[in-house]
A and B are shown apart, each in its own frame.
Chain A
């Protein structure tokens, strides 16, 4: 495959940045998107140029490290992570535009790498349980219906990649925050800090500068883990009932 890559290059956080075009030849349809970028970077390194910086880690679609806004969609044309996207999703002669996630709360560090530690701070604000849950109990001894356990698990599959923020026209982090609130709110271990958690995580989400939700559904449509909008409704319920009934004046 012969491709033209239009890549966002930015030296550092304060640099203006801009697009640079790179022609690329000899790409196999079986390569993953990140392997294709590896080929580009090898060529750039051989020429003595600065390789394109991008985030990646497990390359198995489970860590949430890879990002990239590819041809106008987070993680590209397939509903998957960028590492699981393959070049067979593109055609010979394509021009592929690659941009970093765009959000005030996700400042660009270099090229396509953005700082997603805003997500970590939302978790630190309340996305944990401080009760001692002990060792792993026998599954049949946990008094939780299967459907509820499944729902909590579905919420917990969020890998925190930030595609929801990248897809949202408001750069809102509500899908992420709601998944992290839901996974704990649905389980008995999460009940102890239920109210304070909702209040603190949402306060942190706002403080980070993420936008509000317009219920466009773009986040859920692009989420590689198919986190559903029902989590946002649950978060809203948790928050409204928390502010009305909690002891935090």
Chain B
């Protein structure tokens, strides 16, 4: 076994992968939420459709999207490997356990929260990402150029109550996952310092509320205003 594979199969190496992929996905979410704010623009979806075309055709964005796919898959695979080792580390459990007195519920349930988010990602990508790439969706023309009308697909999807509910609930779970994950990733990387850790923790608390809330506001906005 080379030193690289040996390191990446150690518990700390696996945790390093979890932290790096997690932080990359946090960067991705930041970009994703910023771009999607165009849904709030009252121009019949023009700006959003132009943005959607850019995001699916620009080579630099394509490279980033492949990194995002790798990060999601890596984050999931390594979490499964770590969880199975963690489960094996305690074959006989406790009859009485007061874990709530020493740790947060989010930190103890990252796997469950992550699984719910993964299921949501599957539904989410099936609804929009797969449609944009391979689906037959209507086109619109702005300034003589043809664009796929993803906005209409989004608008139609968010007329369905259960879709809106699914998105809002999934974002609550995402927020709880991030409430632990954000600062935890820095701790795993070894970045713990008296001066900076309180700022990282504060930023994490802010991020886990603001970003999921912005995401959740999109289906709600469309459902209530764009019928």
**Which residues of A line the B interface, CB within 8 A?**
6, 19, 69, 71-73, 97, 99, 102-105, 167, 169-172, 174, 202-203, 205-206, 209-218, 221-222, 229-230, 232-240, 243, 248-249
Contacts and interface: CB of A to CB of B under 8 A. Distances in A.
B191 A233 contact: yes
Contact of B187 (A72, A97, A233): A233
A211 B86 contact: yes
14 contacts: A72-B96, A99-B95, A103-B90, A104-B88, A169-B99, A203-B10, A209-B89, A212-B85, A214-B184, A216-B103, A234-B190, A236-B188, A236-B189, A237-B190
Nearest to B180: A215
Nearest to A233: B192
Contacts of A6: 95
Contacts of B103: 169, 216-218, 221
Contact of A211 (B89, B107, B187): B89
Contacts of B95: 6, 19, 97, 99
A248 B6 CA distance: 11
B224 interface: no
Contacts, number: 133
Given A170-B89, A215-B183, A230-B192, 12 more contacts: A71-B98, A72-B96, A167-B102, A170-B86, A172-B86, A172-B89, A213-B11, A217-B104, A232-B187, A233-B187, A236-B12, A238-B190
Given A73-B101, A217-B102, A99 B12 contact: no
Contacts of A19: 95
A105 B2 CA distance: 26
B15 interface: yes
A215 B102 contact: no
Contacts of A211: 11, 85-86, 88-90
Residue with the greatest number of chain A CB neighbours at <10 A, chosen from B12, B88, B110 = B12
A78 B196 CA distance: 31
Contacts of B34: none
A134 B103 CA distance: 43
Give 4 nearest A-B pairs by CB, closest first. Answer: A233-B192, A237-B190, A211-B89, A72-B98
Nearest to B7: A243
B11 A102 contact: no
B86 A97 contact: no
A216 B190 contact: no
A220 B101 CA distance: 12
A10 to B, nearest CB: 10
B109 to A, nearest CB: 10
Interface in B113-142: none
A215 B90 contact: no
B191 A102 contact: no
B90 A171 contact: yes
Given A212-B14, A217-B107, A73 B90 contact: no
B94 A102 contact: yes
B180 A71 contact: no
A215 B92 CA distance: 22
A240 B16 contact: yes
Given A212-B11, A237-B190, A249 B2 contact: yes
Given A99-B96, A239-B12, A210 B107 contact: no
